[in-house]
Structure 1
Amino acid sequence: MKQGLSLRVSQHLALTPQLQQSIRLLQLSTLEMAQEVEQMLDENPFLERADDAAEREEFGLDQSDAQVSSGEQAVEIDAAQSTETDAGPSATKDGTSTSDTAQEAREEAAELRADGDAPVEESWEGDGSVDVAPDDGEWGGDAPARNAGSGDGGDEVSAMDLASAHETLYDFLHQQARCMRLSDDDQAALYFLIESLNDDGYLEDDLMSLALDWWRLKHGAGEPPPGVEQLEEAEEQLRTALAWLQHLEPAGVGARDLSECLRLQIMELRNTPEAQAALQLCDQPLELVAKRDVKRLSAQCSLPAELVKSALALIAGLEPKPGRRFVNVDQMVVVPDVIVSRSGRGFKVQLNPDVMPKVRVQDAYAGAMRQSRGGTKDANADSGGYAAMQQRLQEARWFLKNIQQRFDTILRVSTAIVERQRNFFMHGELAMRPLVLREIADELGLHESTISRVTTAKYMATPFGTYELKYFFGSSLGTETGGNASSTAVRALLKQFIASEEPSKPLSDNQLSAMLREQGIECARRTVAKYRESLRIAPANLRKAL
């Protein structure tokens, strides 16, 4: 084998830590972003909270169409602009590319470098200079200590806080159990079963496995395994406690399956012929009850068809998940990242100031670093500790810059969406036009994967409600006139058709497809079924009123 030397010229783009962090922050949701900020505040001594919203730094991104200053500056969109044509590339909503390939990663990294002035060094190391930030206090004024309280009883809980505290299913059941006259052992068994319930109020584990856990809890894990008689005694004690549990409110709690849950609720009602028939229906396969197969249920239970219909109506009014009303809905509230409101003849697009983290660089620590750098080169300046602090300072500055870039990109994409979907903000979802990620990416000069990251888990508050940014993207369906209709608008039209149908004669998928064809929209029956299922609307046989 002959050896030789050769020269080869090649280009490659390395993702620096700054670019990696910028890409990662861009795809975080609001909650994840808040957690990331909390983690950085704990880890980096150069970051602190600020009372006021952070001001935009002088060296920030050069984006004339998406200037942001603590969410107060906005972009005005004139609704009287010329109406855009509906012609556009036909692609599915989910048919977008992501940064799965190296080519996409290189293109996206190049955009972020060009858009955010990313440095070429591949580490967080800095020299402690203030070249990056002309003023280390540009992110806000003085801030109190992170966990500072009022100082005068800050740990006390007010009466209003106690009144507004959320009551869980377990608290509600424990409160009822404390009012029962039971022995300490029986009450402990009841408490054990309450804590074994799931969030819906069901007892998922069988009593035999729970009896083993209950015995170990009473006698300690270090004891030898219980015998058969001991295990049967523990199971019998839990069975008695289960009977008490199933008599507590809400009705149906402590059931092992849906059929038992329905029976427990029916037994709480008055003893009427409908209730007795409903109990018989609960003993039949629930698939027949769900399909409301009156003919087969009537034959298997030997009941008149009219009585079966009344019993099915009674069952339909029961609660299949007794613990549902105890769910903390406050934890499910969606906080919008962008707020769109009317402003004259147009719309105002602005960032939600409540989701923007208010952090800044510590003035005192940054000033000390500058003084150490400008002074004499002592032993401490040459030590590894000083270099580590320089790196942490540079990391803090880049973290703030990447946060600013994240919100700038969200605002730019949101503004482009509002411009493209102007008819939606004026007339509602029936006026939605087809839109794919590539259109926004080409307009803003970004990669599709960047748009995909921005529109995932980010929400926009509109005059018609709060929607995820991905909601405004949809594939196109052909029309008789040669134009395109958005799949989102077609779903809204289907919802409108079904809402106005006769309950006794619901519209089938074929009829819905024909009605869309009358509106000039070509939509096959299978597509109608897919859209109907995405709207969580039952088929015609289950929508039919008895």
Structure 2
Amino acid sequence: MKPSLQVRLSQHLALTPQLQQSIRLLQLSTLELHQEIEQMLEQNPFLDVEEDHAPMEFGLERLSSSQDAAGQREKERLAEREDGAAGDGSGGDEPAGVDNADFGATERDDWENGTERDDFDGIRELPSGNTGSGSGDDDFEPIESADQGPTLQDHLRRQLLGMRLSEEDQAAVLVLIESLDEDGYLGDPLAEIAERLGSALGIDPDDPDQADEREELADRLRCALKWLQSMEPTGVGASGLSECLVLQLKDKPRSPARKVAIRIAEAGLELLARRDAKKLMQATGADEQLLREAQALILSCEPKPGRPFARAEANIIVPDVIVLKSGRGWKATLNPDVMPKLRINDLYAQAIRGQRNGSASGLSSRLQEARWFMKNILQRFDTILRVSQAIVERQKGFFTHGEIAMKPLVLREIADELGLHESTISRVTTAKYMTTPYGTFELKYFFGSSLNTEAGGNASSTAVRALIKQLVANEDQAKPLSDSQLSDMLGEQGITVARRTVAKYREALKIAPANLRKAL
């Protein structure tokens, strides 16, 4: 084969490093953004947290209106232009390849097919004065730490200190306390705990000469388990749900209903879960009224004794957007608590001004990097605000009447209104939260498919789910509504929903089937 040279002309889309960073920051949650900022503060000496006495320089667009601040801004702009003329490697003139990890299959196909619109028109042309700066004297702290109370183990150890037990018994109880899971149950059978403890004490499980030691250790642990199960909360130290309920029922006042409830907890929980009243009455000998009272006693028990001591999540969701009443409508505003207070370190920036030698080129690139980072953060919040306000305008009924008034909405509608791509709207609405009069919701919550109505209109799937929840809440518990009945009732209100669709919505709402909702 004869070698030859060929010239091919092709087109491909490339993004600058700054635009890639803008995409990545846009899809980060508040926690992830906080971590990104902390990492950038450690890596870039020109980026600094705004001090209480320093003027706000968020995004290089928010400087004080005083003459000194205006002059400083002009100097920095001149320095930025000089940095760009120096030709350092961090500038945005040289395109970089797109990292496929930053894009899903749909967006990548759009790029390759040439159908992608300018995904970042909204970012590039955003006004800088509609976000509002953070208020208050605290630094950027988007994640609040939950007030951590004592753990279950701490609570039990304190009770153990008030019990007059020998050192050996106290040690045995402590071993069982450490073996509890977060629900308050023993994590392993008592025999396995005894075997592990015996190995730690040097007792060979296969040595016949140490059989007495093994038996003594097992007896001590069984006695320690009784001490543990006598502590608060009642039910702690149980090996399973049945034993946990029995321990709590035995702590209640004596009554015929309590006796029946204990029998059900010991051997009839599966029948109770199936609402099989006939077999329960045959197994316990109770009549219908006594069975109801026994069921009420069981329902009053706590199936997870350790639940009140469970650690709350260390990271509490802080909303990115707050919706407030404004005249006759509603207005979305950014939560000032999630707005980072960043600035360029003037001391370092002035130190490299006027130096255009090789040693200063690297520092100039870091300065440019810090400026781009601040600008992209500002653009992120501006885009979130624009999308949020567009959602509020489309879902006015929700903010006035609740989820039952939700309208059908898809990403394409918001994208067309704002001149962005659907992928941008998808990034903005993922892991971003909005506080409303009815609670805090992820922005994706306000999007839902549409269902046909007899009047020729459309109903939101979210509104239909809310209606199903309302119908189930008002049903007769003795005769709960089936999925077919719910479908018929929705049809009477002009909403066409198939039975299987009703079942899907019911499961999404975590509503049990009709046979499991039936009261005894």
The answer to whether the superposition gives a TM-score over 0.5 is: yes
- After superposition, the Cα gap between the structure-2 partners of 1:398 and 1:502, relative to the gap in structure 1 and judged at 3 Å, is same
Opposite residue 360 of structure 1, the aligned amino acid is: R
Q: Structure 1: which 5+ residue stretches go unaligned? A: 61-96, 119-138, 148-160
SS in 1 for 2:352: helix
Deviation of the 1:331 alpha carbon: 4.1
CA distance in 1, matches of 2:507, 2:413: 28
Q: Counterpart of 1:344? A: 327
Question: In the alignment, is residue 362 of structure 1 matched against residue 341 of structure 2?
Answer: no
2:371 aligns with: 397
What's the counterpart of residue 530 of structure 1? 504
1:427 maps to a residue whose letter is H
Matches within 5 A, 1:176-325: 176-215=159-198, 218-219=200-201, 227=206, 229=211, 233-325=216-308
Shift in alpha-carbon separation, 1:523–1:113, aligned structure 2, 3 A: closer
Structure-2 change in CA distance of 1:423 and 1:115 (3 Å): closer
> Is the Cα contact below 8 Å between 2:198 and 2:204 reproduced in 1?
no
Q: Give, in whole Å, the separation in 1 of the partners of 2:228 and 2:412.
A: 57
Q: Secondary structure at the match of 2:451?
A: strand
Percent identity reads 57
Question: Quick check: 1:98–1:448 contact (8 Å CA) kept in 2?
Answer: no
Q: CA deviation at 1:329?
A: 4.5
1:49/1:144 contact within 8 Å kept: no
Corresponding position: 1:353 with 2:336: yes
Matched length: 461
Give yes or no for contact 1:140–1:360 (8 Å, CA) kept in 2. no
- Distance, in Å, in 2 between the alignment partners of 1:213 and 1:101 is 55
Cα deviation for residue 444 of structure 1 reads: 1.9
Of 390, 394, 397, which aligns to 1:416?
A: 390
Over 3 Å counting, the alpha-carbon distance change for 1:103 and 1:165 in structure 2 is: closer
- Within the candidate set 494, 501, 504, 1:520 is matched to 494
Per-residue CA deviation, residues 230-257 of structure 1 (Å, 9 max, x unaligned), is: 6555444333322221111111112221
Aligned counterpart, 1:45:
45
Q: Equivalent residue for 2:128?
A: none
Equivalent residue number for residue 155 of structure 2: 172
Q: Give the counterpart letter for 1:5 in structure 2.
A: L
What residue identity is the alignment partner of 1:180? M
Which residue identity does 1:544 align to in structure 2?
K
* C-alpha separation in 2, matches of 1:319 and 1:448: 46
- Cα 1:528–1:294 change in 2 (3 A) is same
The answer on 1:435 being equivalent to 2:409 is yes
Amino acid at match of 1:248: M
**Equivalent residues of 1:108, 1:450 under 8 A apart:** no
| Structure 2 CA distance for partners of 1:189 and 1:321, relative to 1, 3 Å | same
Q: CA deviation at 1:144?
A: 11
* Cα gap change, 1:269 to 1:367, in 2 (>3 Å): same
Contact 2:404 2:467 in 1 (8 A): yes
Contact 2:60 2:375 in 1 (8 A): no
- Asked whether 1:503 is paired with 2:477, we answer yes
Give, in whole Å, the separation in 2 of the partners of 1:502 and 1:140.
51
SS at match of 1:342: strand
Residues 340 and 146 (structure 1), Cα distance of their counterparts in 2 relative to 1, 3 Å cut? closer
Q: Point out the structure with the larger helix share.
A: 2
Give distance in 1, aligned partners of 2:43 and 2:436: 37
Question: Unaligned 5+ residue runs, structure 2?
Answer: 63-102, 126-132
TM-score, structure 2 normalization: 0.80
**CA positional deviation for 1:19:** 3.2
Go from structure 1 to structure 2 and tell me whether the alpha carbon gap of 1:250 and 1:416 turns closer, same or farther (over 3 Å shift).
same
Instruction: Measure how far apart 1:519 and its partner are.
Output: 0.7
Aligned position for 1:123: none
Structure of higher RCO (CA pairs closer than 8 Å, 6+ residues apart): 1
> 1:469, CA displacement in angstroms?
0.7
Q: Could you tell me how far 1:431 is from its partner in structure 2? A: 1.6
Aligned to 2:90: none
Instruction: Give the distance between the partners of 2:151 and 2:206, measured in 1 at CA.
Output: 37
What do residues 132-184 of structure 1 show as CA deviations (whole Å, max 9, x unaligned)? Answer: xxxxxxx999x99999xxxxxxxxxxxxx9xx762322221121122122233
Secondary structure, counterpart of 2:40 in structure 1:
helix
Is 2:460 aligned against 1:460? no
Between the aligned partners of 2:260 and 2:178, the Cα distance in structure 1 is: 34
Which AA in structure 1 matches 2:292?
K
Q: Distance in 2 between matches of 1:474 and 1:396?
A: 39
Name the SS of the counterpart of 1:283 in structure 2.
helix
Amino acid at match of 2:41: L
- Letter in structure 2 aligned against 1:527: T
- In structure 2, the partner of 1:103 is 109
CA contact (8 A) 2:260 2:294 kept: yes
Check whether the contact 1:50–1:140 (CA below 8 A) recurs between aligned residues.
no
CA distance in 1 between counterparts of 2:446 and 2:419 reads 19
Instruction: Note if 1:335 corresponds to 2:341.
Output: no
User: Is 1:474 aligned to 2:451, yes or no?
Assistant: no
